Chain A
Amino acid sequence: MHKFILKRLGMMLPVLVGVMFVIFTLTYITPGDPVMMILGDQAAQEDIVNLRAELGLDQPFLVQFGMFVANTMQFNFGTSFTTGRPVLEEIGFRFPTTMQLAAMSVVISVLIGIPLGILSAVKQYTIFDNGATIIGLLGVSIPNFWLGMMLIILFSVNLGWFPTTGFETPMHWVLPSFTIGISSAAIIMRMTRSSMLEVIRQDYIRTARAKGQKESKIIVSHALKNALIPVITVVGLQFGLLLGGAILTETIYAIPGLGRFMVESIQRRDYPIIQGGVLLLALVFSFVNLLVDILYAFVDPRIRSQYK
């Protein structure tokens, strides 16, 4: 198992360098000169040349990329063009908020999605199943940035139950985490339902019935463990979706997280922040996927024995 984790960590490294390459290239091809951004339009030609040299912008593409990788490896992401403070500091300061939001949303979506999916599959063709399926489809279809606004109109403006914006108290957390959580819950529910339906028509479920086992026990001890294997992957992928979704939700609720900060940085063309932010979120996402793989091996003996 240790070997497997080490191997997977080893596989992550080239992917992360690849991510850096993508991010770096995207910034490189972006029109507009960062030096002009920092110094402003009125800057003297001499200052411009000096700063270019200082930032290494006069070097060829690959050299610049090498420097970028080397700096990144030492956790040096540069300084923000707009605030002049280290990127790591700016990002690190906002990152916990985003992670908290994503984590709460994952918990909500799992707590709603998995039980509903199971029930829906077990009660296939009943009114409950049809209702859950349609709600699930709606949940997948409703854009969460719109849902966020509608929740504000309903629960903050009209009912006054929750604050509109900010992220200071637990009351502030409710609407944003449900906004992201609901659409994920719908996806997880759909996946759980179809996976469960697939599993409960397997021969080994019939074997369990032939043993005289109770239907409820069959669901819990035979079907669930098998059905949840593909659901784990979906939950992991959802985490990526949630990190991306944070960009929208944080904008709507004016949450001081990394997502909103990145949108603002894009508008300000603050490239070091964008680079650092994307890289950090990709790193987190990769770790979550690694976790999913490990969990997989934990649940599925067939995969476990592959890595023995």
Chain B
Amino acid sequence: MPENTAQASNEALLDIQDLSIHYITEDGTVRAVNNLNLSLKRGETIGLVGETGAGKTTTALGIMRLVPDPPGKIVGGRINFAGEDLTQKSDAAMRNVRGKRISMIFQDPMTSLNPVIPVRDQIAEVILLHEKVSAAEALAKAEEMLLKVGIRSERAREYPHQFSGGMRQRVVIAIALACNPELLISDEPTTALDVTIQAQVLELMKNLKREFNTSMIMITHDLGIVADICDKVAIMYAGSVVEIGDKYDLFRNPKHPYTIGLFNSLPDIEKDEDSLKPIKGFMPDPMDLPSGCPFHPRCDVAKPICMQAAPSEYVNVSENHRVKCLLFSDTTGGE
């Protein structure tokens, strides 16, 4: 491990404050991300967990400033990255961040590569953009990256359709890591892959992350992946983080009724099948969020106040573990 980890790990690399992203359409406003708070230190990996529609991908695109506009708009909040607010940056300045300092791996490797360009050239493109190298050097470095992700040089000139899904995701990873970014956002990088390939790709990501000392946001709905490779977890519901904390703290002592519900809906091989308790109801329509706490219609322990007021402050459960829920705001620090 590089020696600067310990010293660097105290400063927050990414600090998102009250981020809100809306899609403004003819049919109404989709409130995809609402007052989201998230912070991440250098070298850390955080798992961003939530159901489909919780706003995970929009958050990621928001950090990249790639929310399609129109109709998407960052309507409020700050995204502090290494001391700079990304929401204030010009498009040109953002282009110097994308691919170089922050990279993203997308969900579906089958569609995220350009079908008419050889894979090597697709990696070389990002190198050429951000590093002062000749085209030949960029291509050579691209082949090096391919080797790192386990693809032999003789396949470098092949096209995406000649590779399997797992291999393509390796290419996408090579693109994302080619310029040694400080932050890597992985949006469900393995959901589209077979289970055995999933494990290989995750293992590869873990190793490369260590080698490059990259911070990472791992978007997933798979708590197993979180347990495997993350340091911290943030649980998202209806566009905001409802509970965030150190992986061990949060897994051992989940507080938010939604988090508890998530853990209860996981099958546990040691317990009886009867104990599986799915969360009732569905994710609310982000165009028409319920009043008060957005989770209250599905919450078993909701109090009358939950219907009127949304929790706005986080409550410290422990030093590394915070929750946003009215059940805890009148008592201090948990139970």
Determine whether A and B are in direct contact in the complex, meaning some CB atoms lie less than 8 angstroms apart.
yes
Interface residues, chain A, with chain B CB atoms under 8 Å away: 125, 202-204, 206-214, 221-222, 225-226, 299-302, 305
A207 engages B96 (CB within 8 Å): no
Bound: A222/B112 CA distance, A: 12
Contact of A301 among B103, B122, B125, B159 (CB under 8 A): B159
Taking CB atoms, residues of chain B closer than 8 Å to A225 are 116-117
Determine how close the nearest CB of chain B comes to the CB of A118; give it in whole angstroms: 16
- Give the residues from 89 to 104 in chain B that come closer than 8 angstroms, CB to CB, to chain A: 94-100, 103-104
B104 engages A208 (CB within 8 Å): no
B70 engages A207 (CB within 8 Å): no
CB-CB under 8 A for A212 and B114, given A125-B70, A206-B66, A207-B175: no
Contact of A213 among B70, B95, B103, B106 (CB under 8 A): B95
Determine how close the nearest CB of chain B comes to the CB of A206; give it in whole angstroms: 7
Bound: A305/B97 CA distance, A: 37
Taking CB atoms, residues of chain B closer than 8 Å to A204 are 111-115
Taking CB atoms, residues of chain A closer than 8 Å to B96 are 212
A207 engages B66 (CB within 8 Å): no
Report how many residues on chain B are interfacial, defined by Cβ distance under 8 Å. 32
Nearest A residue to B162 via CB reads A305
The 0/1 profile, CB within 8 Å of A marked 1, for residues 49-71 of chain B is 00000000000000010100010
- Of residues A125, A209, A211, A226, which shows the largest number of chain B Cβ atoms within 10 Å of its Cβ? A211
A206 engages B116 (CB within 8 Å): no
Q: What are some 6 contacts across the A-B interface (CB < 8 A)?
A: A204-B112, A207-B106, A211-B126, A214-B95, A300-B116, A302-B161
A203 engages B98 (CB within 8 Å): no
Bound: A300/B94 CA distance, A: 32
Query: B325 at the A/B interface (Cβ < 8 Å)?
Result: no
B175 engages A211 (CB within 8 Å): yes
B64 engages A210 (CB within 8 Å): yes
CB-CB under 8 A for A206 and B114, given A211-B125, A211-B126, A212-B99: no
Nearest A residue to B107 via CB reads A203
Determine how close the nearest CB of chain B comes to the CB of A198; give it in whole angstroms: 12
Query: B73 at the A/B interface (Cβ < 8 Å)?
Result: no
Q: 7 new A-B pairs (CB below 8 Å) besides A210-B98, A212-B98, A212-B99?
A: A206-B106, A207-B175, A209-B64, A211-B175, A212-B96, A301-B159, A305-B159
B162 engages A222 (CB within 8 Å): no
Please give me the 7 A-B residue pairs with the lowest Cβ-Cβ distance, nearest first. A212-B98, A212-B99, A211-B99, A203-B111, A301-B159, A211-B126, A204-B114
CB-CB under 8 A for A299 and B116, given A212-B126, A213-B129: yes
Bound: A305/B122 CA distance, A: 19
Nearest B residue to A226 via CB reads B116
Taking CB atoms, residues of chain A closer than 8 Å to B129 are 211-213
Nearest A residue to B66 via CB reads A209
The 0/1 profile, CB within 8 Å of A marked 1, for residues 72-97 of chain B is 00000000000000000000001111
Determine how close the nearest CB of chain A comes to the CB of B269; give it in whole angstroms: 36
- Give the residues from 157 to 189 in chain B that come closer than 8 angstroms, CB to CB, to chain A: 159, 161-162, 172, 175-176
Bound: A212/B104 CA distance, A: 11
Nearest B residue to A205 via CB reads B114
Bound: A305/B116 CA distance, A: 12
CB-CB under 8 A for A301 and B116, given A212-B98, A212-B130: yes
Determine how close the nearest CB of chain B comes to the CB of A156; give it in whole angstroms: 45
Bound: A299/B129 CA distance, A: 25
B161 engages A301 (CB within 8 Å): yes
Contact of B100 among A206, A212, A299, A305 (CB under 8 A): A212
- Give the residues from 15 to 70 in chain B that come closer than 8 angstroms, CB to CB, to chain A: 64, 66, 70
Contact of B104 among A210, A222, A299, A301 (CB under 8 A): A210
